[in-house]
Amino acid sequence: MLFKRLRIPFLTITCSGVILVLGKLILAPNSSRYTAKPFVFPSEVPLAQWQSLHSQSLFTPIVWQPNLMTSRNYQYQQNNLSLDIEMRYLVPTNGNVQELLQIYTTLPASAQMRQQEEVGFYYLLVDEQQAHLSSCINPRGKTTVTEQQFTGNGNRHDLQLNRLLPWLMGEVQLRDRRCLWTHLSISVENTSPSEAYQILEKAWFSWYQWWQPRFPKS
């Protein structure tokens, strides 16, 4: 009985959605041509318990990596420790952080995946000189490191009714495949990898809390 009462409203909503989509495709086909708005990284970003030293743009040939919108390097100091943070705004991307590490770095392929409930997933890895933390900050939801996590996060947060009208108007992509890829590194010369990981994680959680609400507008 309940199903019968809900069937007509459900069919009405479904048909209305189909009509809206068809109308968009017929009357305004060019509105599907979405281009992400330009974004400039701030020259300084506060980081709790760290002193900001300086920042600079990272040079990457656009013809080599066309989905890279912009990038910046930030450097911090805490007592005798130096922290380096690289930020890259990727549009679009599949969210595979290991692939990004292979493209942009010479780091080893092996990495430890970890999860922090309030933040999300991130990779930890170490080479001979430095410990590293790498992850993708998503437009909505938590951080991810694999293509499956990135896609799943998009399914949960992008496919919402409140995004339907902006998509029909060509203001956003229905599937928002943007990522703020963040890579932190610190020297292990005077500390063990496990201690360096703890330092990186603490800095990462603070960094994420500052950036998530400030993700670039679509």
Task: Provide the whole-model pTM.
Answer: 0.81
And the tokens for 84?
Answer: 């380096």
pLDDT in tens, 35-80: 778 999 999 999 999 999 999 999 776 566 889 999 999 999 999 9
Cα separation, 187 vs 193, in Å, equals 9
pLDDT in tens, 101-150: 999 999 988 899 999 999 999 999 999 899 999 999 999 999 999 999 99
3-state secondary structure of 111: coil
Cβ neighbors of 82 (< 8 A, separation 6 or more) are: 75, 76, 186, 187
The DSSP-derived string for 113-138 is: EEEETTTEEEEEEE-SSEEEEEEEE-
Q: Which residue in 35, 51, 54 sits closest to 43, CA to CA?
A: 54
Give the pLDDT confidence score for residue 93 in this predicted structure: 95
pLDDT grade, residue 12 (50/70/90)? low
Contact criterion met (CB below 8 Å) for 170 and 28: yes
For the chain, give every domain's residue range: 1-33, 38-214
pLDDT grade, residue 199 (50/70/90)? very high
Question: What is the overall mean pLDDT for the chain?
Answer: 84
pLDDT in tens, 70-106: 999 999 999 999 999 999 999 999 999 999 999 999 9
Give the pLDDT confidence score for residue 217 in this predicted structure: 86
Who wins on pLDDT, 190 or 9? 190
Give the pLDDT confidence score for residue 55 in this predicted structure: 98
